[in-house]
């Protein structure tokens, strides 16, 4: 495969190679868009065989969603379906349904994230699937929690972030809530589901026990704001919005500071931690304001917080004269927590990320060379090797042949009838 060739000859991805933690695990994946696909993609990166079941002809909807500059599969689809296999099956035909049931009988995990009630109408509800395969781990993503008045409502990432409380703690103080860029309702949910599926797989390996696993996107969002919950539990008030500061942050300086250039991301983040180290004094030396050492207006976190505007002005008077990476180097070298605010284009063009195997380059049959973030965790020093998202039906022969023993003739017949 060309991807492997590219890697082994050292053209990028220097640090990536195959991971096989989950080698032998078979997953039948009926999920779409992001919450389900981000979950199964993480399992695929760890070596599971994830088979995406898609309608013949058009495929999963997100092949045509967002960021699709050509008629090729969308960039969005590529992000969330790497390292998977694609099998087409017309689930509205009797033969298609029969085949998916046969695949389910051979699988360890089944997953779906359709709109409320859809999987049951399709005829693949839990009771049916468990009967086909009592050892199956049956995993589902819901939008709103089952058993709530809202369980029949549609959900998408921003809806989950609103109802799950994330938006209430994101944005400028005194202004309207914003939706954070990260897909907490989607990928955030997918990661929690992956953890629970892996727990169930671990248990099943010893016991053969199947189980049903469900998570609601709104509930997953609550998991990611537990610092906010700590404040509410402690003072019985809603946690507020703190702009660029950490939730509750009653210290200074902490936040973003303008740098030279004036672009929308020409900022550094600087935080003098209230509890850890003598960051403020170190910072004064870096910015050439050593005469302020010991000044009672700024000498404690409390004093600096009370004089936050002045403190921030002192810091920004210096940062605004320098490039953000120069600031990061000077302040970071001095042992003060600091970072440039980086945008996605800067990172996309950062060769260091490819060298470390965090971004990887691969050949896609339609797009040519693609570059994307893979699984960012290293196993024995290596991130898992990226394989590009499959073309529609790319693995029909592989999976229907390999799992079910279908012959070339069987497959040709299915193709003729439009079942695959």
Q: Residue 21 CB, nearest distance to a second copy (Å)?
A: 3
Binding to a second copy in span 229-248, by CB under 8 A: 229-248
Binding to a second copy in span 61-100, by CB under 8 A: 61, 65-69, 74-76, 78-80
Task: Report the C-alpha gap between 217 and 161 in whole angstroms.
Answer: 8
Judged by DSSP in three states, 112 sits in: strand
Binders of a second copy: how many residues, by CB under 8 A?
A: 155
According to CB under 8 A, which one of 35, 200, 406, 419 is a site residue for a second copy?
200
Question: What six digits make up the tokens of 213?
Answer: 């696993």
According to CB under 8 A, which one of 101, 125, 156, 307 is a site residue for a second copy?
156
Question: What six digits make up the tokens of 418?
Answer: 């439009």
Please report, in angstroms and rounded to a whole number, the separation of the first and last CA atoms in the chain.
24
According to CB under 8 A, which one of 193, 272, 283, 414 is a site residue for a second copy?
193
According to CB under 8 A, which one of 165, 253, 388, 393 is a site residue for a second copy?
165
**Using CA atoms in the order 65, 67, 71, 77, what is the torsion angle rounded to 10 degrees?**
-50
Given a contact cutoff of 8 angstroms between Cβ atoms, the answer to whether 257 and 267 are in contact is yes
Contacts of 255 (CB under 8 A, 6+ apart): 243, 244, 245, 269, 270, 271, 312
Residue 315 touches a second copy, criterion: CB under 8 A: no
Residue 192 touches a second copy, criterion: CB under 8 A: yes
Binding to a second copy in span 125-154, by CB under 8 A: 145-150, 153-154
Q: Residue 215 CB, nearest distance to a second copy (Å)?
A: 4
Residue 309 touches a second copy, criterion: CB under 8 A: no
One character per residue 336-375, x = contact with a second copy (rule: CB under 8 A)? xxxxxxxxxxxxx---x--xx-x-----------xxxx-x
Task: Report the C-alpha gap between 149 and 165 in whole angstroms.
Answer: 18
Residue 305 touches a second copy, criterion: CB under 8 A: no
Q: Residue 378 CB, nearest distance to a second copy (Å)?
A: 5
**For residue 171, what are the β-bridge partners?**
none
Residue 27 touches a second copy, criterion: CB under 8 A: no
Residue 184 touches a second copy, criterion: CB under 8 A: yes
Give backbone dihedrals phi and psi of 303, rounded to 5 degrees, phi first.
Answer: -65, -40
* Triad 76, 77, 81: Cα angle to 5°: 125
Active centre residues (catalytic): 186
Residue 284 touches a second copy, criterion: CB under 8 A: no
Residue 311 touches a second copy, criterion: CB under 8 A: no
According to CB under 8 A, which one of 28, 107, 198, 419 is a site residue for a second copy?
198
Radius of gyration from C-alpha coordinates of the chain = 25
Q: Residue 146 CB, nearest distance to a second copy (Å)?
A: 8
Question: What six digits make up the tokens of 173?
Answer: 């103080």
**For residue 85, what are the β-bridge partners?**
51
**Preceding omega of 253 cis (within 30 degrees of 0):** yes
Residue 177 touches a second copy, criterion: CB under 8 A: yes
According to CB under 8 A, which one of 50, 220, 286, 392 is a site residue for a second copy?
220
Name the residue nearer to a second copy (CB basis): 385 or 396.
385
* Triad 245, 247, 251: Cα angle to 5°: 55
Among 120, 139, 191, 128, which residue's Cα sits nearest to residue 25? Answer: 139
Q: Residue 128 CB, nearest distance to a second copy (Å)?
A: 17
Residue 379 touches a second copy, criterion: CB under 8 A: yes
Length of the chain as a residue count: 420
Q: Residue 131 CB, nearest distance to a second copy (Å)?
A: 16
Residue 172 touches a second copy, criterion: CB under 8 A: yes
According to CB under 8 A, which one of 203, 320, 394, 413 is a site residue for a second copy?
203
Question: What six digits make up the tokens of 405?
Answer: 């023993």
Name the residue nearer to a second copy (CB basis): 233 or 408.
233
Given a contact cutoff of 8 angstroms between Cβ atoms, the answer to whether 254 and 271 are in contact is yes
């Amino acid at each position: 495969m060309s991807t492997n060739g590219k890697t082994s000859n050292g053209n990028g991805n220097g640090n990536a190679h195959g991971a096989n933690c989950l080698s032998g695990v078979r997953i039948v994946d009926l999920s779409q868009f992001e919450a389900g696909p981000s979950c199964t993609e993480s399992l695929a990166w760890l070596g599971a065989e994830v088979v995406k079941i898609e309608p013949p002809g058009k495929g999963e909807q997100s092949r045509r969603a967002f960021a699709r500059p050509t008629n090729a599969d969308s960039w969005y689809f590529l992000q969330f379906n790497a390292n998977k296999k694609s099998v087409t099956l017309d689930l509205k035909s009797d033969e298609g349904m029969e085949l998916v049931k046969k695949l389910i009988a051979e699988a360890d995990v089944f997953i779906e994230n359709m709109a409320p009630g859809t999987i049951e109408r399709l005829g693949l509800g839990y009771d049916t699937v468990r009967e086909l395969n009592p050892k199956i781990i049956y995993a589902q993503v819901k939008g709103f929690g089952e058993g709530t008045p809202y369980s029949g409502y549609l959900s998408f990432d921003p809806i989950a972030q609103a109802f799950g409380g994330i938006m209430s703690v994101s944005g400028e103080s005194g202004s309207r809530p914003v939706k954070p860029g990260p897909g907490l309702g989607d990928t955030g949910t997918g990661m929690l589901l992956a953890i629970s599926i892996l727990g169930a797989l671990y248990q099943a390996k010893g016991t053969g026990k199947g189980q049903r696993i469900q998570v609601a996107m709104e509930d997953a969002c609550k998991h990611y704001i537990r610092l906010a919950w700590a404040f509410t539990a402690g003072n019985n008030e809603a946690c507020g919005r703190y702009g660029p500061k950490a939730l509750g942050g009653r210290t200074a300086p902490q936040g973003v500071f303008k740098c030279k250039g004036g672009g929308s991301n020409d900022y550094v983040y600087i935080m003098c931690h209230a509890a850890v180290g003598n960051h403020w004094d170190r910072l004064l030396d870096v910015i050439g304001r050593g005469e302020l050492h010991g000044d009672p207006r700024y000498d404690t976190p409390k004093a600096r917080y009370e004089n936050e505007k002045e403190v921030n002005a002192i810091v920004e008077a210096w940062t605004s004269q320098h490039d953000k990476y120069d600031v990061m180097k000077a302040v970071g070298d001095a042992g003060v927590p600091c970072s440039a605010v980086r945008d996605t284009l800067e990172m996309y063009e950062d060769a260091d990320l490819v060298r470390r195997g965090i971004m990887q380059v691969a050949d896609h049959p339609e797009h040519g060379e693609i570059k994307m973030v893979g699984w960012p965790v290293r196993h024995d020093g290596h991130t898992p090797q990226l394989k590009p998202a499959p073309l529609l039906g790319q693995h029909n022969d592989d999976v229907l042949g390999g799992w079910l023993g279908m012959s070339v003739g069987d497959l040709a017949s299915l193709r003729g009838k439009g079942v695959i």
